[in-house]
Chain A
């Protein structure tokens, strides 16, 4: 319910100027705006298609370039490890030569480790554990993405690390004399 004050307020409000001229002419700004043809809000279909093709092309090119950079070290593998490249493909099986070399070194591992002190053996076993865990995890990832070239390459590299570690262990222990060698 309105009070006397409300009524007086309403009467006064109705007397407030409703028609107020701006201090400056606003038309020139409006005229400029409406004279400029509005930009089409949507790109034409052919432009959208071209953009998609360009995006996919650029993306593919970058990926190819990047993967090319990643693969590069494989071609520079030392002659002693060339066999690692053999038959490593989408099914991520290792080459026969690699398997023979690894199996031989693995068989010698226990004998080699036995020649070392407990501390040195602990360090080497820890390093081997790291490499083998990496191999396990990369293999698990490859089960999900069998054709992922990056994963294949990482697996190859991890196997190579393992092989080099095994060889280093053999080299380290070759000159260590055991009590029963005397």
Chain B
């Protein structure tokens, strides 16, 4: 397993699912090494977590290019802030928080989010390659069409399983706002999905 955890970029096949750690102790050792500026250990951590981080970014942005940028930005920031990671929370949670910040920061900086929604509405762009199929693909596309605030809360809460308090903390909003946004997301999704027979 150690060999798998530390394999380099050249050994990694494109499109391969991220490697899951079998032990939190192994992950903790990698974190300790990465904290000492061991780039190899950090690459292993990247291999372990890139799938979930990229998935989160992709679900939140609904845009492949932005999701890739946010993923890279999140890992680069994680590298520079590793010394601050004290292990109070899981490494994956800490990494997700950084990724959410990267997404929010990117969206604040540009108005591309609005342009993206416009493009989606206008040309019915090709669905994102998320691995979902059938009904789930309909749901994924409907989630992608949600307004930003509602989409972020739905992704963190309903898809990734964070509590309202955790999601609110990550997004910098009140827990009550998170609940309201989830309610809004469900209402909007119901409008979209019932027309497609999701409820049958």
Residues of A participating in the B interface, judged by any CB pair closer than 8 Å: 5-6, 8-10, 12-31, 33-35, 38
Contact = CB atoms under 8 A, between A and B. Distances in A.
B54 A22 contact: yes
18 contacts: A5-B186, A5-B190, A5-B194, A9-B139, A9-B189, A9-B190, A10-B158, A12-B135, A16-B132, A17-B55, A20-B55, A21-B15, A21-B16, A23-B14, A26-B54, A26-B72, A29-B72, A35-B39
Interface residues of B, number: 50
B87 interface: no
A20 B130 contact: yes
Given A22-B54, A27-B46, A28-B9, A38 B80 contact: yes
A24 to B, nearest CB: 7
A22 B12 CA distance: 12
Nearest to A27: B9
Contacts of A29: 72
B39 A31 contact: yes
- Main SS of the interface on chain B? helix
A9 B186 contact: yes
A38 B79 CA distance: 11
Contacts of B16: 21
B50 A16 contact: no
Contacts of A26: 50, 54, 68, 71-72, 75
Contacts, number: 109
Interface in B45-93: 46-47, 50-52, 54-56, 58-59, 64, 67-68, 71-72, 75-76, 79-80
Given A5-B199, A16-B159, A23 B80 contact: no
A25 B76 CA distance: 15
The 10 closest A-B pairs by CB, nearest first: A20-B55, A13-B158, A19-B51, A17-B131, A34-B79, A33-B76, A22-B54, A30-B75, A27-B9, A29-B72
B18 interface: yes
